Structure 1
Amino acid sequence: MTEHHLIRVRWGVRGALVLGVATSVAANILHADPNPISQAISAWPPLALLLTVELISRVPVHRRSLAAVRLTATACIAGIAAWVSYTHMAGVAARYGEQGLAPYLIPLSVDGVVVVASVCLVELAGRMRATPTEPKPEPSTVDIAPDTTPDIAPDEQPDADRTPQKLAPARKKDNASAIARLRARHPDMSAADIARRVGVTDRTVRRHLNALTAKPA
């Protein structure tokens, strides 16, 4: 059984013990003389037993001699409480209509609950002290440096092979020379045809042709 389960069982046993002691106290008070002093005296033995059981179940003892002394004292207190409660409860049961053996058996049931609950409570206390508790994990003291690596997708990571190389500047097309060659080969070719062949506008062709015509022979 785990410690948590033992604690739950102990609360149930303690409840049964308190119920038995409360019944015994009520019977003692009802059977006593109707004055506060008599009622307090008659209610004391069950309460003394309850306090004694709580003490021996909560306070551990490391010497066997002391453990034997307190167990002996507890047994004496339990015997006194049982005898006093038995006589009071038997008288109350007979007064309120119980007949035959009932007035003498009912007190035994109450005292039996008190005795069994007391023994169980002491036994549970010993079991709980013997059950090892699981150590709680200590928090780690290692300083973990924060991850400062930027979130870069694989496709976005820099790569030397992906660096675009600078393209060499394209050679400027010599339109004037091309136009001059076409005019020399085909003197009858119109400016529109030359422009279509070279890939320029008609205006550019006429400008270059005029420049050729203006050159000295």
Structure 2
Amino acid sequence: MKYHAPHIITEGTTHYPIGALKGREIQYDFEKILIYLDAKGKLLFGKKFKIYREDREILYKLCLYFIRDKTRCGQMGIDVNKGLLLSGPVGCGKTSLMKLLKHIVPHQRPYEVIPCRNIVFGFNHIGFKIIEDYGNSQFFCFDDLGVEPTGRHFGQDCNVMGEILLSRHELFINEKRKTYATTNLNAQELEERYGTRVRSRMRELFNLVGFDKGSRDKRV
């Protein structure tokens, strides 16, 4: 993917304007962003992908966050300098959106989407180096946080993602590095899974943006 102007994204031979350039600032157009996201989603996930009307409100919030619209985000209680925890029921589209939304800001540092269970499997195989690797200064989105198994390396149990989140919090405080994650769990369940210490760090680390509890399973 290339872009020859920050407000126009090129996919193959097609140009998608997602706003207008006013001086050195992009004035984003939400409807145009949705057209691009629909097209990019089909490229990434296949022709069955579509943007659902009932998701427009959460998409609007997420787009404002990614384009760093400080004024509107502030009105919604979102801090553009913090990371993002996207919550919602199974199959509502969290992972797809996190894989997709980074493409509307190709000039920003991209993050890698990694399933939490894969990180735990890595820990089981090679041990504590995995916690160092994911607690480092790269940008990650931890997918399906809270439902991963407990890690076990040479008979030693470890709450792998809990340890990584503590490292990511330190990184955020010291270097302002963001962390992203998706989860099916609510705040109470996350606290039960990781304990009060990690949960309080998560409040500092993340903006919490959630799908409605009644959001349907789009995989069905």
Q: Which has the larger radius of gyration?
A: 1
Q: Which structure shows the bigger proportion of residues in helix conformation?
A: 1
Q: Which structure shows the bigger proportion of residues in strand conformation?
A: 2
